[in-house]
Amino acid sequence: MESADHNAETATFGEGCFWCSEAIFSSLKGVLSVTSGYAGGKVPNPTYQEVCTGTTGHAEVSQIVFDPEIISFEALLEVFWGSHDPTTLNRQGNDIGTQYRSVVFYHNDIQKAAAEIMKTELNTSGSFHKPIVTEISPFTSFYPAEDYHKQYYEYHGSAPYCQMVIKPKLDKFRMHFQEKLK
């Protein structure tokens, strides 16, 4: 018997702190798993401390395995652009550096085209007051983050960072994307 995720696809997004994006994407119907990690750099098997230096070329990312029969890549892109500021270069809130850049790492030509089309549409629609600076780059490799980063909000929701940064972002997201939630 085939498993329910036999047609699963993968998306990889960087939108600042991966703790925030993991909490958001984990709450969506059709998302099978979300793994925090690093992508887009040249250093193999980087550590969090190395990535934080900004010298590895890696971004903090969330790698999302999803069921395209329940949620489309385009819907994930909509959530991606709606859950961070894609107009700030190498920065999300107080997190500054190339490791916090806005980036779509596409896994195939269909994802690349969808990301480029949606970026163009958002730029021409005036949805944002400044041009979107999101990088759209080919996926090359993914390195899972250290265990203490996994499901951070779920396990540390009462921590000050979670209460001051992640919870308000998640609450705002839930208000705007209720129909996509589990």
Q: Give the pLDDT confidence of 19-40 residue by residue, as tens digits.
A: 889 999 999 999 999 999 999 9
Domain positions in the chain are: 9-180
Q: Does domain 9-180 have CATH number 3.30.1060.10?
A: yes
Mean pLDDT of all residues in the chain? 90
Dihedral (CA of 75, 98, 155, 168) sign: negative
Q: Give the pLDDT confidence of 39-89 residue by residue, as tens digits.
A: 999 999 999 999 999 999 999 999 999 999 999 999 999 999 999 999 999
Mark whether 52 is an active-site residue.
no
The single residue of 17, 20, 52, 162 carrying the catalytic annotation is: 17
**pLDDT for res 169:** 81
**pLDDT for res 5:** 62
- On the question of pLDDT at 182 being above 80, the answer is no
**pLDDT for res 4:** 53
Q: Which amino acid is it at 25?
A: F
- On the question of pLDDT at 133 being above 70, the answer is yes
Q: Give the pLDDT confidence of 85-118 residue by residue, as tens digits.
A: 999 999 988 889 999 999 999 999 999 999 999 9
**pLDDT for res 1:** 32
